[in-house]
Amino acid sequence: MTTITPDGPQLPGDRTPAEPSLRPGPVLPGTLTAVSQADQSPKPQHAEKGGPGRYPGAPRPEAVRPTPLADLAQQLAIPVPDAAHVMVTGITHDSRAVRPGDIYAALPGARLHGADFVAQAADLGAAAILTDPSGAERAAATGLPVLAVDDPRGRMGALAVSIYGAPGEDLLQIGITGTSGKTTTAYLIEGGLRAAAAKEADGGGGRRAGGLTGLIGTVESRIGDERLKSERTTPEATDLQALFAVMRERGVRSVAMEVSSHALVLGRVDGCVFDVAVFNNLSPEHMEFHSGMEDYFQAKAQLFTRARSKAGVVNLDDEYGRRLAAGESEVPVTTFSAEGHPDADWRAADVEIGTLGSTFTVHGPGGVTLRAASPIAGPFNVSNALAAITALAVAGIDPQTAADGVAAIPGVPGRLERVDVGQPYLAVVDYAHKTDAVESVLRALRKVTTGKVHAVLGCGGDRDPHKRMPMGAAVARLADTAVLTSDNPRSEDPLAILATMLAGAAEVPVHERGTVLVEEDRAAAIAAAVARAEPGDTVIVAGKGHEQGQDIAGVVRPFDDRQVLRAAIESAMAAQKSQQSQQPNHQG
């Protein structure tokens, strides 16, 4: 361990037969192939073709009205021989998840082409294959009808909408985008939707939201109270429309959903028109995917076009939010400001920040005034809570009902999530994995900490390398103890990542820098932070949040920051108790 110690402290909008992709133009194919990444998908659980076994992949509705393949070919404006008698009941981009009657979307990928797996798809009962010209010959060799188009990824969303009967049109859909806070805001909105549904069930009036609620995001998807593990922030279009169909089938009437920039660029939300689109903020992230901040913003701004949403809710405290509000949104915009900006439609005032959450007053249009609470600590979560209340109000839900539902959620997995085993200091786990988020969470914890802040932080491998020095500098400047460690190094050398973070920490002037420790092993790093904690201090383990695995050299090992932190605290407390019991008693 190295130590540095300072001297001082009708798509549905207009479904024309040949509807093109909503993506702005050609993009890189990404990493999706017929076989998902090892750290993204459950192990295959193959069922016999046509048998009763459980199929792998995303959930599907129980009942689907068959769609003639000829109708789908007409929608694509292409001729398909031998399609006259073929009926379609599903669509998937994963060859392992094919069910009898499916269209298998054989997509080009960065390393492999989905057409490499057409035989597997055919064996599992695929009815037809959607692919591009480069995959058409291999697809045709199966003897199945082939739908060959230039951009199959951009067309499969609209096909999924048709196959599953436009399920999203029967749901109140609220989509959330931005760099930080998407997950938290989605949970908060879903809490408000649940409150509205409960009020309707009790005859409380207002019928904008009722029945069960849904959630789709980074941590999990939920259908009512059923929880499904998420493979990515926003599912691929084929899985998303199937999930909407399952929700509709089970009585869900409203859904809160995270919408990533990747999802917008790669067409994962093709076929969705959100009732309300929410913009939280924008800061540097995913620069390995986007060419720069303007490209990143334009990707997010796609959500605020008439093809993607009906109304927008944007953060007036963010410079990019102000751009949307000033006219770069195609849909009507309602603004909010946690900083109390007088021009905002919805404003927070009288904010009181606490260790477990915050309370504040909401001022809205027409003289609306109500007390609200964020159930998660930090001023940035006041902004997330206000975003949720505003979005729910725009969706037609009573603002007080919305605020009560937001305040009632028990927390968000991996977002300032407390780990408490009776220790005399605060211990939390947070997903902060970018510079702005690290700075925000450390400043928030500083405000509610009487002692010192001890932070554990790493940077992921095979991701944007430019944020490593700034993140190292941020944690060194804002924490009393900064323990630099591994996150998910993936294929990179963990020590090389740490060297870059350490270089950033070293640029912080000595008098502004806390103690900096370097420990490659993440569990040992967490134990090192815990060992330094005293009553009144705070220990934060940042970067992985809810994640339950660590990717090292392509192998995903079980690792949950919450469990490891809990074990470290329990071990330290047991050692302290043992030491105290062995001390001689000088009384008498």
Find out whether 183 is annotated in a ligand binding site.
yes
CB 460 within 8 A of CB 488: yes
Find out whether 300 is annotated in a ligand binding site.
no
In whole angstroms, give the CA distance from residue 313 to residue 180.
Answer: 15
Find out whether 359 is annotated in a ligand binding site.
no
In whole angstroms, give the CA distance from residue 466 to residue 422.
Answer: 39
Find out whether 41 is annotated in a ligand binding site.
no
Residue 279: beta bridge partners?
Answer: 177, 314
Torsion on CA atoms 380, 381, 384, 385, rounded to nearest 10? -140
CA distances to 132, 185, 268, 299, 387 from 20, in Å: 14, 31, 14, 17, 32
CB under 8 Å to 460, separation ≥6 — which residues? 433, 487, 488, 489, 490, 543
Torsion on CA atoms 138, 140, 145, 151, rounded to nearest 10? 40
Find out whether 162 is annotated in a ligand binding site.
no
Residue 68: beta bridge partners?
Answer: 87
Find out whether 337 is annotated in a ligand binding site.
no
Find out whether 184 is annotated in a ligand binding site.
yes
Find out whether 547 is annotated in a ligand binding site.
yes
Best CA proximity match to 300, nearest among 263, 256, 336:
263
Find out whether 202 is annotated in a ligand binding site.
no
C-alpha dihedral sign at 241, 245, 246, 247: positive
Best CA proximity match to 559, nearest among 465, 466, 456:
456
Two structure tokens written together for 520: 């490659």
What one-letter code names the amino acid at 113? H
Find out whether 451 is annotated in a ligand binding site.
no
Find out whether 137 is annotated in a ligand binding site.
no
- For the chain, how big is the Rg over CA atoms in Å? 25
107-122 in b/e form (b: 16+ CB < 10 A) is bbbeeebbbbbbebbb
Find out whether 134 is annotated in a ligand binding site.
no
Find out whether 248 is annotated in a ligand binding site.
no
Q: Which residues are annotated as a binding site?
A: 95, 178-184, 233-234, 260, 268, 463, 487-490, 543, 547
- Annotated binding site for meso-2,6-diaminopimelate, which residues? 463, 487-490, 543, 547
Q: Binding site for ATP: what residues are annotated?
A: 178-184
